[in-house]
């Protein structure tokens, strides 16, 4: 069985959390919008396809397989985690990993809003002054609070966020850490001494063979200024 992932073709975005789980699981998938246009790829085809899926998703990413059509990143990961052993099988462990994922989703939302504090429908250039303000608070308060939380969780555990093995929450914390390092290199360098376990976890995830292979492949879209984690030097100060 091959999964179909529906997500914007030019960015990591929220789809990247799903890509990382599929890659870690070694699960066959087609990144539909990244196919050539002649095979149904492209952003316009994606926009059309989203209107034909049932039950209807509000927004991508969407994962389709076995007659299931699943949207919302954390929901897709809940499904993949159970099916591909990327989360504990017991109720407490499953809820804990979902809880961590939702906490990371909040951090992702807050990161997005550093460059779009007024509206996603406006260009960054139209909200630069407000972005500078919001990014300042994000760097001073929110990023340290969030990453400090994950640091504490890791200090109390066995090298992974849940138990003694990799879960999809680890994959997601890796992604958020690399994203913040890309977007805010100065701020993250200043924060590094306070979050050694988070940085070590990110390195450990990156060294997992299937993840290392993925990151070295052209399936990994580079960070860019269309995604969630954008490097605008003026916001990193």
Q: Does 64 participate in binding a copy of itself (rule CB under 8 A)?
A: no
Residue count (the chain): 237
- Residue count, binding to a copy of itself (CB under 8 A): 39
- Does 194 bind a copy of itself (CB under 8 A)? Our answer is no
Coil, strand or helix: which one is 65?
A: strand
H-assigned helices in 84-208: 91-115, 128-137, 143-155, 168-183, 185-191, 196-207
158 forms part of the interface with a copy of itself (CB under 8 A): no
62-65 and 3-6: which strand pairing? antiparallel
Residue 102 or 237 having the CB closest to a copy of itself: 102
Position 149 contacts a copy of itself (CB under 8 A): yes
Residue 164 binds a copy of itself (CB under 8 A):
no
Residue 158's contacts (CB-CB under 8 Å, 6 or more residues apart) are 164
d(CA 59, CA 69): 12
Report the candidate in 74, 70, 59 with the shortest Cα–Cα distance to residue 7: 59
d(CA 40, CA 69): 18
Encoded one letter per residue, x for contact with a copy of itself by CB under 8 A and - for no contact, window 95-124 reads: xx-xx--xx--x--x---x---xxx-xx--
Are 104 and 176 in contact, with CB atoms under 8 Å apart? yes
Residue 237 found at the interface with a copy of itself (CB under 8 A): no
214 φ, ψ (degrees, to nearest 5) = -65, -45
125 makes contact with a copy of itself (CB under 8 A): no
Contact flag: residue 155 with a copy of itself (CB under 8 A): no
Smallest separation, CB 72 to a copy of itself (Å): 4
- Which listed residue (19, 146, 178, 230) binds a copy of itself by CB under 8 A? 146
**Which of 5, 64, 70, 191 contacts a copy of itself by CB under 8 A?**
70
Q: Does 4 bind a copy of itself (CB under 8 A)?
A: no
Q: Does 42 bind a copy of itself (CB under 8 A)?
A: no
160 binds a copy of itself (CB under 8 A): no
Rounded least distance, CB 27 to a copy of itself, Å? 17
Residues 6+ apart with CB under 8 A from 167: 81, 86, 87, 88, 97, 160, 161
Does residue 152 belong to the site contacting a copy of itself (CB under 8 A)? Answer: yes
């Amino acid at each position: 069985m091959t999964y179909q992932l529906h997500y914007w073709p030019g960015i990591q975005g929220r789809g990247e959390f799903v890509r990382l789980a599929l890659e870690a699981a070694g699960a066959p998938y087609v990144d539909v919008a990244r196919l050539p246009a002649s095979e149904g790829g492209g952003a316009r085809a994606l926009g059309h396809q989203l209107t034909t899926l049932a039950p209807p998703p509000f927004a991508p990413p969407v994962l389709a397989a076995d007659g299931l059509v699943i949207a919302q990143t954390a929901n897709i990961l809940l499904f993949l985690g159970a099916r591909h052993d990327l989360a504990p099988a017991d109720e407490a462990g499953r809820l804990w990993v979902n809880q961590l994922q939702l906490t990371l989703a909040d951090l992702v939302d807050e990161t997005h809003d550093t460059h779009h504090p007024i509206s996603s429908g406006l260009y960054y250039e139209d909200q630069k002054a407000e972005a500078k303000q919001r990014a300042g608070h994000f760097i001073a308060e929110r990023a340290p609070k969030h990453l400090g939380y994950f640091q504490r969780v890791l200090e109390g555990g066995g090298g992974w966020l849940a138990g003694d093995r990799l879960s999809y929450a680890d994959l997601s914390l890796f992604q958020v850490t690399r994203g913040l390092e890309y977007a805010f290199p100065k701020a993250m360098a200043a924060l590094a001494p306070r979050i050694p376990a988070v940085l070590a976890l990110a390195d450990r995830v990156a060294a997992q063979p299937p993840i290392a292979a993925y990151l070295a492949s052209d399936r990994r879209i580079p960070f860019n200024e269309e995604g969630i984690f954008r490097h605008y030097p003026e916001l990193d100060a």
